[in-house]
Amino acid sequence: MKQIALVAALILCAPAAWAAEKLSLSELSAYLNAMTTAEASFTQINDDGTLSTGKLYIHRPGRMRFEYDGENGATVVAGAGSVVIHDPKSNQPPETYPLKRTPLSIILAKTVDLGQADMVVGHQFDGTTTILQAQDPENPEYGGLELMFTDDPVELRKWVVHDSAGGRTTVVLGALETGGKLSSFLFTTGAGSGSR
């Protein structure tokens, strides 16, 4: 009888270990659609193995800002349908790309519907994390996005961008602060670092 009581006590004390399960596409879509604003520190693992750190700001739909650490840190700003890369160390003008041609457009869409045909090409669970591989179903050649979520509560923890050239960039997020007010100046694509 004591053994049964002990087992019951252990189960009650550690529900997360056995309750974790794969999050459904509808749960993940609802989580992303409910996210209006978010900010977090991040560590980026670049395709060549080098590391970068900085701060990430998201304002859905359509806006995102990566602010890299360092005196001459670069910024990558998504807004007004474009992604603009400002690199103060470069002598070249900022690089601009259409947002819809990048995998990040999947999570910045006005309405995220991961159940859409051919958008999700992988949906796994590793025991603690739900891992989703997604692509633009109309333009898979633009690359793909691998998203990692934990549950209880649902939170985006990491993503990997697979670009059209075969490159791979991993972004590991710190704790996401959601629902705050973010200045619109953060997402002005004509503005570089420090434009707040």
Q: Over the stretch 50-84, which tens digit does the pLDDT of each residue have?
A: 999 999 999 999 999 999 998 888 999 999 999 99
Distance CA 10, CA 143 (A): 45
Please state whether the peptide bond connecting residue 153 to the residue before it is cis, i.e. omega within 30 degrees of 0.
yes
Backbone φ and ψ of 127, nearest 5°: 110, -30
Residue 93 lies in a domain: no
pLDDT at position 190: 65
Residue 192 lies in a domain: no
Structure tokens at 55: 């701060």
Please state whether the peptide bond connecting residue 61 to the residue before it is cis, i.e. omega within 30 degrees of 0.
yes
Per-residue pLDDT of 129-178, as tens digits, reads 999 999 988 888 888 999 999 998 999 999 999 988 888 999 999 999 99
Structure tokens at 60: 């859905």
Looking at the DSSP assignment, which residues form a beta bridge with residue 68?
A: 54
Residue 130 lies in a domain: yes
Burial 18-29 (b: 16+ CB within 10 A, else e): eebebbebeebb
Cα–Cα–Cα angle for 102, 171, 93, rounded to 5 degrees:
55
pLDDT for 111 beyond 90: yes
Q: Provide the domain limits for residue 120.
A: 18-70+99-180
DSSP, res 73: -
CATH number assigned to the domain comprising residue 63 = 2.50.20.10
pLDDT at position 19: 55
Per-residue pLDDT of 85-94, as tens digits, reads 999 888 889 9
Residue 9 lies in a domain: no
Spell out the residues 6+ positions from residue 154 whose beta carbon is closer than 8 angstroms to its own.
23, 27, 28, 31
Looking at the DSSP assignment, which residues form a beta bridge with residue 59?
A: 37, 63
Q: What is the mean pLDDT of residues 85-108?
A: 89
Backbone φ and ψ of 178, nearest 5°: -110, 155
Residue 196 lies in a domain: no
Number of domains in the chain: 1
Residue 91 lies in a domain: no
Residue 39 lies in a domain: yes
pLDDT at position 164: 80
Residue 82 lies in a domain: no
Burial 84-116 (b: 16+ CB within 10 A, else e): bbbbeeeeeebeeeebbebbbbbbbbeebebeb
